[in-house]
Amino acid sequence: MKRIDFAIIFMATIMYFFTGCQDANKKKTVKSGYDKEIRELISKMTLDEKIGQLNMLSGDWSVTGPVVRTDFKEDIKAGKVGTMLNAYTAKHARKLMQLSVDSTRLGIPLLLGYDVIHGHRTIFPIPLGESCTWDLDLIEKAAQIAAEEASAEGIHWTFAPMVDIARDPRWGRVMEGAGEDPWLGSQIAKARVNGFQGEDLSLNNTILACVKHVAAYGAPIAGRDYNTVDLSERTLFETYLPPYRAAVEAGVGTAMTAFNEINGIPCTSNHWLWEDLLRGQWGFDGFVLTDYTAILELIKHGVANDLYDASVLAINAGVDVDMVSQGFINHLKKAIENGEVSEERINQSVYRILKAKFELGLFDDPYRYCDTVREKDVVMTKEKVEFARKAGRDACVLLKNNNVLPFSKNIKSIAVIGPLADTKEDMIGAWTAAGDRYTRPVTLLEGIKNKLGTSVKIRYAKGTDYNSWSKDGFREAVKAAKKADVVILALGENWQMSSEAQSRSMIDLPGNQNELADAIIKANMNTAIILMNGRPLTIQHLDDIAPAILETWYAGTEGGNAIADVIFGDYNPSGKLTITFPRNVGQIPIFYSHKNTGRPFNPSDHYTSKYIDVPNSPLYPFGYGLSYTTFQYEQLSVDKTEISKQDTLRVNVVLTNTGNYDGAEVAQLYIRDLVGSVTRPVKELRGFQKIFLKKGATKKLTFLLTDKDFSFYRKNMTYGSEPGHFEIFVGGSSATMYKSSFILK
Ligand code: BGC
């Protein structure tokens, strides 16, 4: 790098952080409509009562981290608890609320939070699956239903949406997010925040949302959960931060610190992250809570000697609520006496927490979310369960189909085989809030029975366990397959394999499931594989041998019915992947929006970027997904070949359903900035439309692009576009090469 370039970057970076800090200093807690009430209340509070508001304890209704202590009831009565997690139902919440309201001097209501991630009682597909619907209305509505159910069970606050961009499927938490793309992830982040919070937080069917895990928790080295994150500033800003920012722009009420570090500073003690970036530059005006015991973990990170130190670091970094570590409650008073923390800083946090409680209406009526009659009326209504079925089928992605699916309902017999064909607990995946795992979910076998009734002979055989090497069950399974007209083979991971602390170094089908697939497909070629899993798996072998593969993720409470709708053609699959499926683990991280490199692969030039043992391309790319019908894109055009920064570019394309079924297509638009002051990805998603077309129907689609769509962090890290040539790609996946171009002046 030339010395002059280095100097420019250095200056710009300094300016950038300096400006951020200045903003942060100017930016105090944003005034609430309840400003007067909050200030009055704070003026009456003792220091102990203030610190109590900053303390979050865990109830004992779920365990989502190391158990620290359980005498929370006494602590509530002593005014030492401002917020709690893992406690719900209208009855239980009322009891806890009563302890706080009746026993404490000022009667400040408790705030009850819970991980309502993809439904509360009615469980929708896992968030990664839901993202594959590319249907923002559906995603928003699922969050809204979850909020309605949770709020009826005493919950005021969800620790969702999780918007961590994830490009390493070894990481077990890819199942909780919206995949690999920052642009799509941002749209989904907004939809989820809007769904949970609605337009008015004080309504008794909306809840406070929490954007997590800020920041870049989805990028642990080697995909191992909780591992260190080490990113360039550019990658952090371009790839990982946009969805958090989108959630802030949508008005998210709270944010959670990530367990990991950024640039050597753990997020829980990272002043730059909270005060300069989120509050200063982005205008976040909610409160920040740590992840579970994250203050305590600052000691193990090696930035604090003890919990006292850790608590001082966290509060001074801008953190407001201590989840479970009990550092704030036990050490902040001393830290104030020692002059290491100011009381003003505590007041800021108290202000933010009380503001949320006022906005939720808890001071008007602390029991407004604890109504047992409403709870009964609202939870798992017919309409909600129907919606879960719709979400379940919309999330399905058809990965391969040699004219096997859909199966006719006029068959005489079907074999339903596989370790995941009839296991209720696996249908809803992980992070299922209060969802019933063991009795309510509809298994695939049950869904097929519901669909076919008694006129078709249904044979079920498990074949093998999900993680077994025993072939004892193969014989019976092969026999069933041989006797049947068609076969459904349900394979994948059990529900616990994709979640927190569930990273895998190999992401093949576990146990001998591939061998079972070999045996079953050999016995009957009319076999469709149904996959259930929370992450991309390396299924090259399955792709080689299977006539059809349908990815169903963990499809939710109504999973079996939803999948049966797809298998038998009552619903034509329209899901598209939001995360790349690699061919093998050696390709990871693999994602569509990679850089070109100075030596992009050229088959006739040995010294270009490639593997010698596997193609560069993934097994299934981002945006990919088949349908029972086919779609054709034609007449791609731009309305201007040259535009200025003020112009809106119209991109037109004609989409036709050229196959034999009605169906929906997710038409995707990608851009490529050909020459920039810094290198740009080979493709970046900038638009999509989900269009339903009857067979034979045609529709002209128009995408609008403005300067914002061409903007990025330039060489000096300012955000904006640069003049030059752009390519535009339109099609049914990120692999499309159907393109046009224009010049930005
Ligand atoms: C997870 C968070 C979750 C919290 C509370 C943590 O272990 O990382 O995502 O919200 O527990 O359950």
The answer as to whether 559 is a domain residue is yes
Cα–Cα–Cα angle for 310, 311, 313, nearest 5°?
65
- Interval 530-547 mean pLDDT: 98
- 255 CA distance to ligand 1 middle (Å): 12
Do residues 428 and 494 share a domain?
yes
* Per-residue model confidence (pLDDT) at position 298: 98
Do residues 563 and 705 share a domain?
no
Residue 462 is part of which domain span? 385-575
Tens digit of each residue's pLDDT (9 = 90 or more) over 210-240: 999 999 999 999 999 999 999 999 999 999 9
Among residues 291, 309, 371, 565, the one annotated as catalytic is: 291
Tens digit of each residue's pLDDT (9 = 90 or more) over 448-492: 999 999 999 999 999 999 999 999 999 999 999 999 999 999 999
The answer as to whether 458 is a domain residue is yes
From 208, 291, 502, give the residue whose CB has the most ligand 1 atoms within 8 Å, as the site to mutate.
Answer: 291
The answer as to whether 339 is a domain residue is no
How far is residue 71 from each of residues 57, 63, 83, 96, 325, measured CA to CA in Å?
9, 15, 15, 12, 14
What's the CATH number where 736 sits?
Answer: 2.60.40.10
Tens digit of each residue's pLDDT (9 = 90 or more) over 118-161: 999 999 999 999 999 999 999 999 999 999 999 999 999 999 99
Strands (E), 254-330: 254-257, 261-262, 265-266, 287-289, 322-323
Do residues 559 and 636 share a domain?
no
In whole angstroms, what is the distance from residue 63 CA to residue 559 CA? Answer: 25
* Per-residue model confidence (pLDDT) at position 11: 40
Do residues 526 and 644 share a domain?
no
Q: Is 90 exceeded by the pLDDT of residue 3?
A: no
Strands (E), 475-518: 486-492
Tens digit of each residue's pLDDT (9 = 90 or more) over 335-353: 999 999 999 999 999 999 9
* Per-residue model confidence (pLDDT) at position 28: 56
pTM equals: 0.95
Tens digit of each residue's pLDDT (9 = 90 or more) over 161-208: 999 999 999 999 999 999 999 999 999 999 999 999 999 999 999 999
Lowest mean pLDDT among 27-31, 245-249, 373-377: 27-31
Strands (E), 145-247: 157-158, 210-214
- Interval 399-424 mean pLDDT: 98
Do residues 559 and 667 share a domain?
no
CB 655 within 8 A of CB 699: yes
Domain boundary among 575, 596, 619: 575
Q: Does the annotation mark 365 as catalytic?
A: no
* Per-residue model confidence (pLDDT) at position 71: 79
The answer as to whether 518 is a domain residue is yes
From 164, 292, 431, give the residue whose CB has the most ligand 1 atoms within 8 Å, as the site to mutate.
Answer: 292
Domain boundary among 528, 543, 575: 575
The answer as to whether 233 is a domain residue is no
Find where tokens 């810094």 sit.
Answer: 678
Q: Report which protein residue has its CA nearest ligand 1's atom 8.
A: 291
* Per-residue model confidence (pLDDT) at position 31: 77
Q: Which atom of ligand 1 is nearest to the CA of 160?
A: 10
* Per-residue model confidence (pLDDT) at position 17: 39
* Per-residue model confidence (pLDDT) at position 125: 98
The answer as to whether 301 is a domain residue is no
- Please tell me the total count of domains within the chain: 2
CB 658 within 8 A of CB 632: yes
Which residues have a Cβ under 8 Å from the Cβ of 124 and sit 6 or more positions away? Answer: 118, 130, 142, 145, 146, 387, 388, 391, 392, 556, 557
Domain boundary among 536, 554, 575: 575
Q: Which atom of ligand 1 is nearest to the CA of 213?
A: 9
545 pLDDT band, cuts 50/70/90, is: very high
The answer as to whether 441 is a domain residue is yes
Q: Is 50 exceeded by the pLDDT of residue 9?
A: no
Do residues 465 and 554 share a domain?
yes
What's the CATH number where 523 sits?
Answer: 3.40.50.1700
27 pLDDT band, cuts 50/70/90, is: very low
Do residues 552 and 461 share a domain?
yes
The answer as to whether 68 is a domain residue is no
In whole angstroms, what is the distance from residue 254 CA to residue 698 CA? Answer: 45
* Per-residue model confidence (pLDDT) at position 24: 35
69 pLDDT band, cuts 50/70/90, is: low
- 553 CA distance to ligand 1 middle (Å): 21
- 114 CA distance to ligand 1 middle (Å): 9
Do residues 514 and 646 share a domain?
no
- 252 CA distance to ligand 1 middle (Å): 17
* Per-residue model confidence (pLDDT) at position 62: 72
Average pLDDT, rounded, for the chain: 95
* Per-residue model confidence (pLDDT) at position 377: 96
Measure CA of the first residue to CA of the last residue in the chain; give whole Å. Answer: 28
Q: Which residue ranges have their beta carbon within 6 Å of ligand 1? A: 64-65, 85, 115, 159, 212, 291-292, 500
49 pLDDT band, cuts 50/70/90, is: very high
Q: Which atom of ligand 1 is nearest to the CA of 86?
A: 12
In whole angstroms, what is the distance from residue 464 CA to residue 471 CA? Answer: 7
* Per-residue model confidence (pLDDT) at position 729: 98
Do residues 570 and 678 share a domain?
no
Do residues 534 and 392 share a domain?
yes
